[in-house]
Amino acid sequence: MQYITNKGFTLIELLVVIVLLGIVTSFAVLSMGTGSPERKMEEEAKRLHALIKLVQEESIIQAKEIAMEINKNDYSFLEYKDKKWIPLTSKTFRSRSINEELEFIVETDTKTKIFKEKEPEKLRLYFLSSGEQSPFKMNINIKENAHPYYRLVGLFNGKLNLERVNGYD
């Protein structure tokens, strides 16, 4: 009688190898981070645009004055209450850190502020219950790389525009 010996792997062995490859691949993807600096810049610009639009609406609907305070490391939102500015405590308007790879350049009617240096000075943008706001231009770019960048422009009448700038103006 002749016996046939099977050469190869069983189905269980193949499934174990596939599961192990999947686990290793998922760890590799997670260790790579959330994306390139360009992607982070785009996400931050879109987040800021949405947050400022939301602050404008909140200010009008709730009939309260709101300010956005920006410094080198973070930005936060304040409301004017009892003759002083106090931080907003809602999860939506919490203080947010600025990604260390990014740089904000903010221009208002009275000053231009490049948040590079380590200094405690903060800049405020105001959003009024009448729908008006501090006019500003905010450039969001990657440090050490001026182009491309995103420009967020807020006009006095509350209009807000986000654009990607690829070349030199």
Domain presence at residue 26: no
Evaluate the omega torsion of the peptide bond into residue 148 and state whether it is cis, within 30 degrees of 0: yes
Domain presence at residue 154: yes
Total domains, the chain: 1
pLDDT of 52-84, one tens digit each? 999 999 999 999 999 999 988 889 999 999 999
Domain presence at residue 2: no
Please report where in the chains the tokens 């996400």 appear, as a residue: 43
Q: Which residues of 31-59 are buried (b: 16+ CB within 10 A; e: fewer)?
A: eeeeeeeeebbbebbeebbebbeebbebb
**What dihedral do alpha carbons 25, 27, 28, 32 form, nearest 10°?**
140
Global pTM reads 0.73
Domain presence at residue 92: yes
Region 97-110 average pLDDT: 86
Asked if 125 and 133 count as a contact pair (C-beta separation under 8 A), the reply is: yes
Domain that holds residue 47: 37-165
Domain presence at residue 108: yes
Q: Which two tokens stand for residue 63?
A: 């009939």
State how far the Cα of 100 lies from the Cα of 142, in Å rounded to an integer: 9
Region 151-169 average pLDDT: 87
Please give the mean pLDDT across all residues of the chain.
86
Among 43-47, 112-116, 159-163, which is the least confidently predicted range? 112-116
State how far the Cα of 53 lies from the Cα of 62, in Å rounded to an integer: 14
3-class SS letters over 123-163: EEEEECCCCCECCEEEEEEECCEEEEEEEEEECCCCCEEEE
Domain presence at residue 70: yes
Q: What letter represents residue 9's amino acid?
A: F
Query: Bridge partners of 82?
Result: none
Q: Which two tokens stand for residue 54?
A: 């939301």
Nearest to 70 by CA among 52, 83, 58, 57: 52
Domain presence at residue 89: yes
Find the CATH number of the domain harbouring 57: 3.55.40.10
Domain presence at residue 21: no
